[in-house]
Amino acid sequence: MISAPVLVINSGSSSLKFSVFDMNTGGEAMAGLAERLESGDAQLSWRERGGDKQTLPIPHQGHEGALLEVHQVLKHLGSPLAVGHRVVHGGEAFSDSVLIDDAVIAGIDDCASLAPLHNPANVLGIRVMQKLYPQIPQVAVFDTAFHQTLAERAYLYAIPMHLYRDHGVRRYGFHGTSHKYVAAQAVERLSLDPANHGIITAHLGNGCSATAVRNGHSVDTTMGMTPLEGLVMGTRSGDVDPGLHEYLAESLNMSLAEITAMLNRESGLLGLSGLSNDMRTLTEAAEQGNADAQRAIDVFCFRLARQIGALAASLERLDALVFTGGIGENASPIRGQVLAKLPLFGFSCDAELNQRHGDERGIITTADSVPALVIGTREEWVIAHDAYQLSQT
């Protein structure tokens, strides 16, 4: 048993992640993953703090079956005080985490057209957990919420306004939980003025986005209406010319669905390298002289540096650049290459600090540089924290 357990659910289309936090210590007591849901080799795996990884085949089980198993697996930790759900798209309806009721579920459903793969899976997770834990407060934490403070000039596309007014076509941004957390960490670690600072955060995982944070608020970000816009990612293209679709349709006879799948699943690092979507594989291959891997890395780093420059247009001052996510936290050559492109912004990388992923505060730059930091993201922890806070109100 742990004294104050809070359960976090990240329910995706064919997989779901869960974690249990002890809110009295802040530690993660258990974390697990159910994957390949609905298929013959669906499987649940989990690890309890200090324990070994355990796996359980759950053939042909979907979200409901998997969550029933999760319920059994974590029973001995004690009944959760709250359940926090990661929800991908909150549209303009949600600018903060909320306690879930019927109206909130309807609101998340309303945003499903903006995130057709994600929001229905999120709602499914919520409904199953409501059934399993009817007495326990459930909280939705949105990937988009932190970016609801974007200025109109940053969120509008230059297309006819009725598409925004009538159909919600605008930039929303994602990874908000991560950007908010690491920016707050940077303020604390560098003792910045909470009411007067400018930070750029780069969340670099399988999906990648960067955000300009002014005085604790997101003011611009690289992802848009969907998580396809912006930076080069593992398999996603990021920005392309909107004229590309017509060209591919006419010259290669590709359908809209084929183009969308290509841009989401066959592009980015994978498309450029023809080798892998995984940055670790690419950095290792590049070190051994693989030119295709090096080219993919070069485009990735250039596009990130270029976007950092663009984000600076929303800040009056630049106090820090933060790297986070699997790539940001681990890939020192990528950080080094990006910083080397930004001397105009006052960055100067310290090779030794970069190599060891930062000093005690996470700083990887020289003493006379604008600080760049490596800060581990803790999205699940933030979701647990918000769920716990709201459940106490």
The one-character DSSP state at 213 is: E
330 in contact with ligand ADP (CB under 6 A): yes
User: 15 vs 215, which CB is nearer to ligand ADP?
Assistant: 15
Please provide residue 336's backbone torsions phi and psi, each rounded to the nearest 5 degrees.
-60, -45
Window contacting ligand ADP (CB under 6 A); options: 63-71, 201-209, 335-343, 383-391: 201-209
13 binds ligand ADP (CB under 6 A): no
Q: Taking CB under 6 A as the criterion, which residues in 204-223 touch ligand ADP?
A: 205-207
- Can you tell me whether residue 275 is helix, strand or coil? coil
CB closest to ligand ADP, residue no: 326
DSSP string, 125-170: HHHHHHHH-TTS-EEEEESSGGGGG--HHHH--SS-HHHHHHH--S
User: Measured between alpha carbons, how far is 339 from 305 in angstroms, rounded to an integer?
Assistant: 8
Contact (CB, 8 A) for 63 and 14: no
| CB closer to ligand ADP out of 123 and 279 | 279
Number of residues that bind ligand ADP (CB under 6 A): 13
What residue spans of the chain are helical by DSSP H? 63-73, 102-110, 119-132, 152-155, 161-167, 176-189, 244-252, 256-265, 268-273, 279-287, 291-311, 325-330, 332-340, 351-355, 379-391
- Residues 178 and 223: beta-carbon distance below 8 Å: no
CB of 159 to ligand ADP, least distance (A): 29
Binding segment toward ligand ADP, per CB under 6 A, in 83-91, 135-143, 214-222, 275-283: 275-283
What one-letter code names the amino acid at 292?
D
Applying CB under 6 A, which part among 203-211, 243-251, 313-321, 361-369 lies near ligand ADP?
A: 203-211
Burial 3-15 (b: 16+ CB within 10 A, else e): eebbbbbbbbeeb
C-beta of 360: minimal distance to ligand ADP in Å? 21
Nearest approach, Cβ of 88 to ligand ADP (angstroms)?
A: 13
Quick check: 280 binds ligand ADP (CB under 6 A)? yes
Asked if 376 touches ligand ADP (CB under 6 A), the answer is no
Cβ 26 to ligand ADP shortest distance, Å: 20
What are residue 193's DSSP bridge partners? Answer: 196
Q: What is the largest CA-CA distance in the chain?
A: 63
The verdict on 290 binding ligand ADP (CB under 6 A) reads: no
* Min dist. Cβ of residue 265 to ligand ADP (A): 14
Residues acting as catalytic residues: 143
Binding to ligand ADP by residue 283, rule CB under 6 A?
yes
Task: Based on the shown chain and the rule CB under 6 A, indicate whether residue 121 belongs to the binding site for ligand ADP.
Answer: no
- 326 touches ligand ADP by CB under 6 A: yes
* Alpha-carbon 9 to chain mean position: 15
The residue among 357 and 385 lying less far from ligand ADP, judged by its C-beta, is 357
| Among 172, 182, 227, residue whose Cα is nearest residue 203 | 182
111 touches ligand ADP (CB under 6 A) = no
Residues near ligand ADP (CB under 6 A): 205-207, 234, 278-280, 283, 325-327, 330-331
